[in-house]
Amino acid sequence: MLLNKHIDHTKLGANVLKSQIDQLLDEAKTYDFKSVCVNPIWVKYAKQKLKKTTVLTCTVIGFPHGTHEPNVKKYEAEQAVLDGAEELDVVMNVAAMHQKDYHKIKAEIEGVVEAADGRVVKVILETCYLSDEEIVKACEISVEAGANFVKTSTGFGTNGATVEHVKLMKKTVGERAEVKASGGVRTYDQAMVMINAGATRLGTSNGVQIMERDGKSDDSNSTY
């Protein structure tokens, strides 16, 4: 198993500086991660810097709360694609799930899938706010809407990925989609537990530490 190709090396937040993005990109090149996941404003820059590598450029849509209107999420996805994004991680409208507004959720995911035009779309469920029943329903809707992945968390909620939620998501989607575990995956052991539970992708800002198996992070402010 190529562990590096399970990792979306991530740097998200309101105060991320260019120097931090440069470090992220350098690390991604060194370890040949599957992708880097950055805020939309860094997509063009990341894509340019990674053009001679196999590392993909991923960004987030409707981040971090998922409360954008569907047409806004679609526009954001369209712009991200124009800027060079190859994968899109879109935050589901959690409030709509609580209200059982399944049509709205499906429509917004379909809009992003359409805008992605064949690129990988991952739906962030923010599982810490959902019941098991809602997680199952969210997974079903995401698959029906054409998403490629269901993803546990933004890393900005009350909790991140759990083994139980990853197993439940994988059981629900089966072979129809893949599962991405994110939020709190900081060590090699944690990474392997999530992969063994069914995750094929890990969202983490601790990719280097995971690869070096030391389980330490030099980013004490990281929530991802």
91-104 confidence digits (pLDDT tens): 999 999 999 999 99
Closest by CA position to 4, among listed 184, 220, 188: 188
158-178 confidence digits (pLDDT tens): 999 999 999 999 999 999 999
- What's the pLDDT band for 1 if we cut at 50, 70, 90? confident
List the catalytic residue out of 47, 137, 151, 170: 151
Clarify whether 11 is annotated catalytic. no
List the catalytic residue out of 89, 122, 137, 170: 89
pLDDT higher than threshold 70 for residue 218: no
pLDDT higher than threshold 60 for residue 214: no
**CA–CA separation, 87 and 46 (whole Å):** 13
- In this prediction the pTM is 0.94
Of the two residues 217 and 201, the one the predictor is more confident about is 201
* Token pair 């694609």 in the structure block, residue: 81
Clarify whether 151 is annotated catalytic. yes
- Kindly list the structural domains of the chain, giving each domain's residue range(s) and its CATH number in brackets, ordered by start: 3-212 (3.20.20.70)
pLDDT higher than threshold 50 for residue 148: yes
What are the structure tokens assigned to 25, written together?
A: 């990109």
Asked if residue 201 lies in contact with residue 178, where contact means CB atoms within 8 angstroms, the answer is yes
Question: What pLDDT sits at residue 182?
Answer: 98
